[in-house]
Amino acid sequence: MRMTKTLLTTFVSLGLLGSVGASQAAGWCESGKPVKFAGLNWESGMLLTDILQIVLDKGYDCKTDSLPGNSITMENALSSNDIQVFAEEWVGRSEVWKKAEKAGKVVGVGAPVVGAVEGWYVPRYVIEGDAKRKLEAKAPDLKSIADLSRYAMVFKDQEEPSKGRFYNCPAGWTCELDNSEMLKRYGLEGSYTNFRPGTGPALDAAVLSSYKRGEPILFYYWSPTPLMGQVELVKLDEKPGVDKTVTIKVGLSKTFHDEAPELVAVLEKANLPIDLLNQNLARMTRERIESPKLAKLFLKEHPEVWHAWVSEDAAKKIDAAL
């Protein structure tokens, strides 16, 4: 009898443990827990976030939300499970991410964007001139970041005329810290001001304004973005041996990764073909469409892309909702 009680207790315990595991596997949203996304503030990040929110909301009955903040703040929030999803994590370039990943607090999955690039750019007319616009080449021998030490006055900072101006990322973006280190590493800190626009749109405005006037401008930029399809740019070479291959993943809190496998399976498959993504980002700018509206249009117009991410049942529910 005692053995029978012991066995019953064991079976009950195993049953309970089994039900907890099943609940975790399929129950993140069923239990009422919201899936909180990082509220990213660049175009591709916004669009990808809105698309994934709709997919989880309409296809898997999840409550979703997004919390605004810069990328470093959001990466910290991800590591503490205050948010669960960082839709466009540029893996390997953030010390916050690296530390959290090493500590087992975050997990990167999938490949939402493939073929992304980043670097320091100048308009093509700065190097080659532009006969149609009657613009002379101001820096015909400029090929690399190391060459910039000879061309500070070409990119003169109007507020500090003894230096050139480098347009960095907005403060609080991961790339801002990386670029600031690069200024030091290339010995450019003394000859260029490290100018940080307040927002991504402010950086875009500075580039487009200079481009329209045919003026030289030196700036950090990346793709996928609408800007890359609007202007002709040259990416400056880095030192030999520097590998700036960009890997983008969907960043997840470890808690969410472990407790919501059904949803993780969706996020692992999510991918926006980069040419199609750039076209839609250009449309966002050209037609002045807000990201949430464009996300719905994208899902409606391109089922061939996202149907592959989701279950057949979820696909039907999303299609019906659109």
For residue 71, how many C-alpha atoms fall within 13 Å in the half-sphere facing its CB? 26
In the predicted model, is pLDDT for residue 9 greater than 80? Answer: no
Q: From edge to edge, which strands make up the β-sheet containing 106-109?
A: 64-68, 35-39, 85-91, 247-253, 106-109
Q: How confident is the model at residue 26 (pLDDT cuts 50, 70, 90)?
A: low
The CA distance from 319 to 180, in Å, is: 46
Q: What is the mean pLDDT of the chain?
A: 90
| 59-89 per-residue burial string, b: 16 or more CB within 10 A, e: under 16 | bbebebebeebbbbbbbbbbbebebbbbbbb
pLDDT in tens, 28-50: 999 999 999 999 988 899 999 99
pLDDT on residue 172: 83
Asked if residue 88 lies in contact with residue 118, where contact means CB atoms within 8 angstroms, the answer is: no
**Helix and strand numbers, DSSP H then E, in the chain:** 13, 11
User: Is residue 189 classed as helix, strand or coil in its secondary structure?
Assistant: coil
